[in-house]
Amino acid sequence: MWIERKALAQEIPAAAALETRQLSELLASLGFPVDGVASREGGDVLDVDITANRGDAMSHRGMAREVAARLQQPLAPIAMPTLAEGKPVVEVRLESPACPIYSTAVLELGPGTTPADIQSFLLALEATPKRLPAVDASNELLHRYGHPTHAFDADRIRGAVSVRWARAEETLVTLDGVERKLVEQDLVIADEAGPIALAGVMGGESTKVTEATTRVLLESAWFDPKPVKAMARRHSLHTDASHRFGRGADPHMAMVARNLLAGRLQAWCQATLVGAWTAGAAPATAKPVPLTGTLLTRIAGEPLALAEAAEALRRLGCATDLDGGTLQITPPSWRHDLMISEDLAEEVLRLQGYEHIPSVLPPLEGPPEPLSHAYLQRQRLARRLAQLGFHQTVTYGFISPEADAAFAAPGNGAEGRTLVNPLGQEYSVMRGSLLPSLQAVADQNLRQGAREVRLFELAPVYNCSPAGPVEQFLLGVVWGGTLGGEDYLSPARAVREADLSGIAKDLGWEGLSPLRSLGQGLFGFELPVESLPRMGARIIPAFSPFSRFPSVERDLSLLVDLGQSHVALTSAMRAALPKGALLDLRCVDVFRHKSLPEGRQAWLMRMRFQAERTLVGEEVDGWVAAALAAAESLGARLRA
Amino acid sequence: MDQLLPVEIVEAGRVFPQALSACADLDGLLRLKGAYVGREGSHAATLMDLLKAAPKEQKRELGAAINALKQQWEEGLKARQLELEAAKKQHASRADRWDPTLPPPVPAQGALHPLNRLMDRLVDVFRPLGFHVEEGPEVETEAHNFDGLNIPEDHPAKASSDTFYLAAHPELLLRTHTSPVQVRTLLRVAPDLVARGGIRFLAPGRVYRKDEIDPTHSPMFHQVEGMLVGHGIGMQHLKGTLEYALRALFGPETEIRLRPSYFPFVEPGCEVDVSCPLCGAKGCRVCKGSGWVEILGAGLIHPNVLKYAGIDPTEWSGWAFGMGVERMAMMLSQTPDLRLFFENDQRFLRAMGGLD
């Protein structure tokens, strides 16, 4: 909200002595940070950020109240003509409790326009002066005192005016020229022909004040914040008025603002008063809120005298009553945010300045909790993969239905995971797999010229259930591109499935290969984090003895069929070998060449033996022969 | 004397020194040796035949001349051989020598994501104060995301223009902050809060808001929530903890500043500024010359939040804070565009993430 320094100083003269920077710091320390300062013709204008709970601060007067309370300086009085309340010129019926007071007047307009200083005040606040006194005065009052008012062309109102709920099928063309279909939750001002304004939000086109207007009906009411907020949202009509009524205006300002508005019209365009009257009355003030010394001291972190607190709260317009050990506080009619003791404690601290709050570390009242296994597991996996050369990615949890369908598990339908209001179709399904996102990131990196991509992500995927999507943390890994070739010792070659398979093994995965080919030499897998082995519960695992006798290594070069399964061959050979002595058995080289018999390949099988004694050559020879025989039973032959 | 020798031999003798020095390796030298002093067909053999056939009276003189010539050749060959052998040895030793300036094979280098790294760092900072990590789902109920946090029924954040909702489950949404983890955790620990001696935790995680993707907005981002519940907790404890944590994060000379602010789930509420870690509060582009940077929002837990979880606010009190991870990462790294964090270019990740 824009606050003109000059206009602020008219409300709180002591602020005139402050430099813009000092004023900005003062406002920030009161909870109203200044987002920017604009230098305009009439002086500096501050862009003040006002939190949603402080409708009362949305005006120069509102800001001035805050500054006055902090500086302990008086506010300027509001110069207001007194208007004699008279008989209604037009009947005003209040049919809903959402509008308890409606203060109005009818005036005959004379010649004259909006004064230049008012026009420049409005321009400084980025409001456009209309040079229609009734409109500009209403606008000026809103910015100066925070109370929204409205002027109708009185001659275009038909019959009595009522404040009531809209009826189904009713419509209203608002001032912005849009025809609005009304619902029964819309509070309207209506004449006998139908709605003429959305209460507290925007006036209607049919009764708006124009150059031709000669008689105006003023409206200065108070509307319940709830229906106003709802209407603003329903009709996407966020106006200066709806912001202020929606956050809670001051009901006692209804008559004051009406008087000020009438007074301005009398002064600016020689308007003559036909009549002024008020329907209803301002609602009763809120109940007092208690504040105890105990609570205040606990929140403030140091003993604060209740008398001191009472003094601070009085500066904010509260009525205070020290009742035994408890302060009873009645907030002023403009403060709707002071509802509980904590609110009052905050006000005391706020006026004092948060910089006076002491700094203390909270005492530990119980034993700290360890980090969860699931959390530590993810940390461990992330660190291991980063050490192995993989880059951790962070991608959106929603993807396109097409990308999702290509990877989600068959039973995991997308319907239960689809957003009703996505940013776009490509972000509409809570993903059932990490691989589409990783594939997209990998492709993008390769397109950007990366020789090799190594990526992983640790994130939840969403599995459908009748109660809604259930999250499961997955680890997704992809690897592709060209390996090596960047130094004199590492030859260049394409990344192979086996490379990624080795990564799954490194992470402790022992099941079947979870690998998927993602096209263009890119491979990936994803696994539930909880399916990977946890770090052991013991700090150091139990000791398992190992032999100190020398081990013996033997290689067998076998011709095997091209379709031979390694696991089948090794388990057959293993079965023929003494369990206690076989340390390891694996294929250490695969040779495929046209010089070999067609349909065959050569595998170099390595066996490593060790026992709790020195092994003798002959017995090892016997084992190797047995292993060979087992291999031969599967069709393998010793390679000549 | 020369007239005694055939013209081609004289010529061979004349070019011998050049031939010798032109010999670049031992093989060449061997061939040269064969041509000059070999047993058969060499210049020396030709000379010996000449000597045999020479008249007796010439033999003495001729023999001396031939010997001198042969000796000259043999010595030359020998010397050259030594030279070439030395050179070969030297080459061999050079070939074996490792050149440390040649680029060596370097193990592939990966990286943690900078956002995760920053969140891990925050956890590290709070661990010594007894904070652990609590987590919650990203698909949340309206109750946990709003109602339990004292957010009024008609709060604009609930609108479908701000929050993503699920089509098949109208009561479910994508959490708009990590604060529902507060609600879940408080509900869980409420029955044995006394035995636990209160609770203190961090809740790092991903959150969603319906913002279009641009350099400063993302529909998904990260927050770290902090919460502490105990006896007699006040603003001084919030300030003390944040002062400790932000100094641990940015350096011991760091100052913090609390400013009043408003969030429905805390009362009193505040924004917390930190003295600009980039310029040491001297004033720079990042702090817009003010020396302060806004870093998080915080406050004392609103009694309604405790009540919702079944915790008596007259006995227990606490504080909570929420911090935007991307905002902090962008500020610290001066990354100009938020989208870089979600684009996952390996060059960015390597430069920004690192290993721990």
Smallest Cβ–Cβ distance between B303 and the set A33, A340, A363 belongs to A340
Residue A8, pLDDT score: 97
Order of strands across the sheet with A92-94? Answer: A92-94, A161-165, A187-191, A194-198, A202-203
Residue B4, pLDDT score: 67
CA distance A24 to chain B (A): 11
pLDDT in tens, A438-486: 999 999 999 999 999 999 999 999 999 999 999 999 999 999 999 999 9
* A614 plus A631 within the same structural domain: yes
CA–CA separation, A463 and A469 (whole Å):
5
CA–CA separation, A414 and A392 (whole Å):
26
Q: Tell which residue, B40, B42, B49, B50, has the closest CA to residue B12.
A: B42
Order of strands across the sheet with A34-40? Answer: A2-4, A43-48, A34-40
Answer yes or no: is pLDDT of A45 > 70: yes
- Exposed, middle or buried, A393 (CB in 10 Å: 0-12/13-18/19+)? buried
Binning pLDDT at 50, 70 and 90, where does residue A43 land? confident
CA–CA separation, A160 and A96 (whole Å):
16
Tell me if the bond preceding A578 is cis, omega within 30° of 0.
no
Q: Which residues of B touch A394 (CB under 8 A)?
A: 113, 115-116, 222, 341-342, 344
Q: Identify the residue among A21, A32, A298 best suited for mutation to test binding to B, counting B beta carbons within 10 A and taking the highest.
A: A298
Binning pLDDT at 50, 70 and 90, where does residue A221 land? very high
Answer yes or no: is pLDDT of A550 > 90: yes
Percent of chain A exceeding pLDDT 90 equals: 93
Q: Convert B185-206 to b/e letters by CB count within 10 Å (16 or more is b).
A: bbeebbeebeeebbbbbbbbbb
* A325 plus A214 within the same structural domain: no
Q: Which of A280, A298, A331 is the last residue of a domain?
A: A280
Q: Do residues B92 and B100 touch, judged by C-beta distance below 8 A?
A: no
**A595: CATH:** 3.30.70.380
- Exposed, middle or buried, B118 (CB in 10 Å: 0-12/13-18/19+)? buried
pLDDT in tens, A56-90: 999 999 999 999 999 999 999 998 888 889 999 99
Residue B93, pLDDT score: 87
* A115 plus A203 within the same structural domain: yes
Q: Convert A153-192 to b/e letters by CB count within 10 Å (16 or more is b).
A: bbebbeeebbbbbbeeebebebbeeeebebbeebbbbbbe
Q: Could you tell me if residue A253 is inside a domain?
A: yes
CA distance B198 to chain A (A): 7
Q: Do residues B326 and B221 touch, judged by C-beta distance below 8 A?
A: yes
Cβ within 8 Å, pair B110-A342: no
Smallest Cβ–Cβ distance between B240 and the set A229, A362, A387 belongs to A362
Binning pLDDT at 50, 70 and 90, where does residue A537 land? low
Answer yes or no: is pLDDT of A286 > 90: no
Residue A460, pLDDT score: 97
Tokens of A196: 């003429």
Residue A166, pLDDT score: 97
- Exposed, middle or buried, A20 (CB in 10 Å: 0-12/13-18/19+)? middle
Terminal C-alpha separation, chain A: 90
Q: Could you tell me if residue A332 is inside a domain?
A: yes
Binning pLDDT at 50, 70 and 90, where does residue A418 land? very high
Q: Could you tell me if residue A390 is inside a domain?
A: yes
Amino acid type, A366: G
CA distance A48 to chain B (A): 13
Mean pLDDT (whole number) for A257-267: 96
Answer yes or no: is pLDDT of A503 > 90: yes
Q: Do residues B339 and B213 touch, judged by C-beta distance below 8 A?
A: yes
Q: Tell which residue, B176, B208, B260, has the closest CA to residue A53.
A: B260
Mean pLDDT (whole number) for A331-355: 96
Residue B166, pLDDT score: 96
Chain B, residues 231-270, CB within 8 A of chain A, namely 231-237, 239-241, 243-244, 257-262, 267-270
CATH topology of domain B114-352: BirA Bifunctional Protein; domain 2 (3.30.930)
* H/E stretch holding A327: strand A326-330
**A497: CATH:** 3.30.930.10
pLDDT in tens, A120-136: 999 999 999 999 999 99
The reply to whether B335 touches chain A by the CB within 8 Å rule is no
Q: Do residues A469 and B166 touch, judged by C-beta distance below 8 A?
A: yes
Chain A, residues 16-45, CB within 8 A of chain B, namely 28-31, 33
Residue B3, pLDDT score: 60
Residue A136, pLDDT score: 97
* A127 plus A276 within the same structural domain: yes
Q: Convert A466-482 to b/e letters by CB count within 10 Å (16 or more is b).
A: eebbebebbbbbbbbbe
**A149: CATH:** 3.50.40.10
Residue A636, pLDDT score: 95
Please calculate the CA angle A574-A577-A579 and round it to the nearest 5 degrees.
85
CA-CA distances (angstroms) from residue A353 to A25, A29, A55, A212, B166? 11, 7, 21, 53, 44
Mean pLDDT (whole number) for A210-216: 95
CA–CA separation, B208 and B137 (whole Å):
12
* A141 plus A246 within the same structural domain: yes
* A98 plus A35 within the same structural domain: no
Q: Tell which residue, A500, A407, A408, has the closest CA to residue A452.
A: A500
* A512 plus A629 within the same structural domain: no
Domain segments of chain B: what residues?
A: 2-96, 114-352
Q: Could you tell me if residue A21 is inside a domain?
A: yes
Q: Do residues B262 and B270 touch, judged by C-beta distance below 8 A?
A: no
Going residue by residue through chain B (356 aa), what tens digit of pLDDT does each one get?
Answer: 556 677 877 888 888 889 888 888 888 889 989 888 888 888 888 888 888 888 888 888 888 888 888 898 899 999 999 999 998 899 888 888 888 999 999 998 899 999 999 999 999 999 999 999 999 999 999 999 999 999 988 888 888 889 999 999 999 999 999 999 999 999 999 999 999 999 999 999 999 999 999 999 999 999 999 999 999 999 999 999 999 999 999 999 999 999 999 999 999 999 999 999 888 888 888 888 889 999 999 999 999 999 999 999 999 999 999 999 999 999 888 999 999 999 999 999 999 877 76
SS3 state at B268: strand
CA–CA separation, A491 and A485 (whole Å):
5
Q: Which residues of A touch B111 (CB under 8 A)?
A: 386, 391-392
Tokens of A568: 């089948």
Smallest Cβ–Cβ distance between A358 and the set B138, B139, B236 belongs to B236
Residue B238, pLDDT score: 98
Cβ within 8 Å, pair B160-A355: no
Phi, psi of A265 (to 5 degrees): -70, -35
Binning pLDDT at 50, 70 and 90, where does residue A42 land? confident
Residue B62, pLDDT score: 82
pTM, rounded to two decimals: 0.88
CA distance A572 to chain B (A): 37
The reply to whether A185 touches chain B by the CB within 8 Å rule is no
* A522 plus A595 within the same structural domain: no
CA–CA separation, A612 and A581 (whole Å):
8
Q: Which residue is listed with tokens 């907020």?
A: A229
SS3 state at B91: helix
Nearest-by-CA chain B residue for A354:
B258
SS3 state at A595: coil
CA distance A84 to chain B (A): 39
Residue A534, pLDDT score: 83
Mean pLDDT (whole number) for A544-548: 89
CA–CA separation, B272 and B292 (whole Å):
10
* A256 plus A337 within the same structural domain: no
Residue A399, beta-bridge partner list: A429
Q: Could you tell me if residue A366 is inside a domain?
A: no
Tokens of A581: 């002595």
Tokens of A162: 């009522």
The reply to whether A155 touches chain B by the CB within 8 Å rule is no
- B288 versus A387: which is more confidently predicted? A387
Q: Which residue is listed with tokens 């005065």?
A: A137
The reply to whether A65 touches chain B by the CB within 8 Å rule is no
Smallest Cβ–Cβ distance between A301 and the set B104, B235, B303 belongs to B235
Phi, psi of A312 (to 5 degrees): -60, -45
* A471 plus A378 within the same structural domain: yes
* A334 plus A412 within the same structural domain: no
Q: Do residues B161 and B92 touch, judged by C-beta distance below 8 A?
A: no
CA distance B111 to chain A (A): 5
Q: Do residues B344 and B116 touch, judged by C-beta distance below 8 A?
A: no
CA distance A506 to chain B (A): 15
Residue B2, pLDDT score: 54
Residue A626, pLDDT score: 96
Q: Could you tell me if residue A127 is inside a domain?
A: yes
Residue B356, pLDDT score: 64
Per the structure, how many domains does chain A have?
5
Tokens of A100: 């308890």
Q: Which domain holds residue A141?
A: 92-280
**A308: CATH:** 3.30.56.10
* A430 plus A564 within the same structural domain: no
Please calculate the CA angle B136-B137-B143 and round it to the nearest 5 degrees.
90
Q: Could you tell me if residue A270 is inside a domain?
A: yes
Residue A60, pLDDT score: 98
DSSP 8-state symbol, B191: G
Per-residue three-class SS string for A250-271: CCCHHHHHHHHHHHHHHHHHCC
Tokens of A394: 């962070």
Amino acid type, A363: P
Q: Which residue is listed with tokens 């502490």?
A: B228
